[in-house]
Amino acid sequence: MSNELPVLVIGAGLGGAAAALGLARKGVKVKLLEEAAELGVIGYGIQLGPNVFPMFRELGVETAVLAKSHFPPDVLMLDAVSGETVSRMPTGASFRERFRDPYVAIHRVDLHHCLLDACKEAANVEIMPSTAFESVEDLGDRVRVKTKDGRVIEGLALIGADGLGSGVRRHLVGEEKPVPIGYVAHRTIVPMSAAPEHVRRKEVILWAGDGFHIVQYPLRDETLFNIVAVFRTENIYERADEKAYRDVLMKTYASAHPTMHDMLRVMDLKRRWVLADRTPIRHWSKGRVTLLGDAAHPTLQSYAQGACMAIEDAVVLARCIELGKGDFAAAFKRYESERVLRTARVVLDSRSLWEFYHLGGIARDVRNEAERRKTEDDMFRCVAWIYDGVKLPESL
Ligand SMILES: Cc1cc2nc3c(=O)[nH]c(=O)nc-3n(C[C@H](O)[C@H](O)[C@H](O)COP(=O)(O)OP(=O)(O)OC[C@H]3O[C@@H](n4cnc5c(N)ncnc54)[C@H](O)[C@@H]3O)c2cc1C
């Protein structure tokens, strides 16, 4: 493969950083373009399934990631009104026996730095902060990118890892907006000492309610407590009035268990994520340009797999580029066909699971009864298609 020009990766989020690292380890020169001035500063918790650990091994960062991880003994779903346990997936010894790798929670900043630090150590990755992608031209034998501040950067090929609102995707598939689902999320990390005493638990816990949920778990050796509160709104997420906003949120959470109210009291409600996904598409590559992660297949967080999918994409893509020996169009087609059904299933099943989490009335009682009957084996079978992971391609 000619090494005169680099491969350009747009977006140094988890997917972009993993792609840059994956390519660097194959001897490919990379420029990693990021619009933000500072990298790896977005702080909240993230859960990782066992499927992503073989990817970390490929990227040479498994030990670093494990050192920063919290290992929950169980993933629990609790009923948000009664507080009773609806389902329990053990994530200890039996889980490790079944899936080989662990289920962990990690501070996103720590995970990001594991990837970015390894990129910095690689001689063939140039990280370019304050470099916002504007447009791309495929010239047949290379690509030419224009940045928002008027610079021109050429590369052998372009990987759009620029997230949910991807500009590279607009270039490939045209204008179509993400689909907001009428829910917003708030993420807060507080020192463990500031968390109400009775909520300080080691498990990953999802409190499931009618139109709302909270996810809680500890981070960084249980010194921090991560809370994600989600609720259904009409259009309130666009409102600036903090008091009106809090009033609507509290009304939605009116029936919630007192423990959930204790968590809401310590939350920062100023920062909001309007939750959205996109309906899956079959193709996200053309010539020397492709997409990965949220740019290609953004999903609701029902399975806590968006970042895991982005990292899987990155490793499969690096393998396909290696196999392509300079034929980027062929490599991108193979990568796309390896990834399309798995990622589309995550997106579509996440929509169904989202409904399932937020059931009310008798549907909620039916769900709780059915879930309570599930054995550990049943729980493992439900997620095996994700957690058993992927095989890397051996030929194009
Ligand atoms: C509430 C919530 C909880 C979640 N929990 C989990 C979880 O537990 N586990 C999990 O696996 N996933 C989780 N996810 C999903 C996960 O956060 C995303 O799927 C993942 O971060 C996607 O990574 P990415 O690299 O594709 O995109 P991003 O992380 O969005 O990165 C895109 C990067 O591109 C940059 N960029 C954008 N435009 C440009 C441009 N024009 N030029 C240059 N750079 C640009 C951005 O600044 C950013 O750095 C959660 C998501 C939400 C909303």
**Nearest atom (ligand 1) to Cα of 47:** 8
Classify residue 364: in a domain, yes or no. no
Report which secondary-structure segment, H or E, holds 91. Answer: none
Q: Residue 110's domain is classified under what CATH number?
A: 3.50.50.60
What's 234's DSSP letter?
Answer: S
Q: What is the pLDDT of residue 79?
A: 96
Classify residue 74: in a domain, yes or no. no
d(CA 379, ligand 1 centre) in Å = 28
User: Can you tell me the distance from the alpha carbon of 263 to that of 236, in angstroms, rounded to the nearest whole number?
Assistant: 21
Q: In what order do the strands lie in the sheet with 212-219?
A: 85-90, 74-79, 204-209, 212-219, 224-232, 179-191, 273-277
Q: What is the pLDDT of residue 240?
A: 66
**How do beta strands 285-286 and 273-277 pair?**
unpaired
Q: Which domain holds residue 324?
A: 7-66+101-177+279-355+378-387
d(CA 332, ligand 1 centre) in Å = 21
- Using a 10 angstrom Cβ sphere, with 0-12 exposed, 13-18 middle and 19 or more buried, the burial of residue 139 is exposed
Q: What is the pLDDT of residue 42?
A: 75
> CA angle, 43 as apex, 240 and 63 as ends, to 5°?
160
Q: What is the pLDDT of residue 176?
A: 83
Classify residue 145: in a domain, yes or no. yes
Does residue 69 have its Cβ closer than 6 Å to ligand 1? no
User: Can you tell me the distance from the alpha carbon of 383 to that of 362, in angstroms, rounded to the nearest whole number?
Assistant: 26
Q: Considering Cα of 352, then 357, then 358, then 360, what sign does the dihedral take?
A: positive
Does residue 185 have its Cβ closer than 6 Å to ligand 1? yes
Classify residue 55: in a domain, yes or no. yes
Domain count, the chain: 1
Q: What is the pLDDT of residue 245?
A: 79
- Residues of the chain scoring pLDDT < 50: 1-2
Classify residue 121: in a domain, yes or no. yes
Does residue 147 have its Cβ closer than 6 Å to ligand 1? no
Q: What is the pLDDT of residue 80?
A: 95
Q: Is the pTM of this model over 0.75?
A: yes
Are 113 and 106 within 8 A, CB to CB?
no
Classify residue 36: in a domain, yes or no. yes
Beta strands (DSSP E) in 94-151 are: 104-107, 125-128, 133-138, 143-147
Q: What is the pLDDT of residue 2?
A: 46
Probe target for ligand 1 pocket from 31, 41, 46, 51, with the most ligand atoms within 8 Å of CB: 46
Classify residue 30: in a domain, yes or no. yes
Does residue 356 have its Cβ closer than 6 Å to ligand 1? no
Classify residue 14: in a domain, yes or no. yes
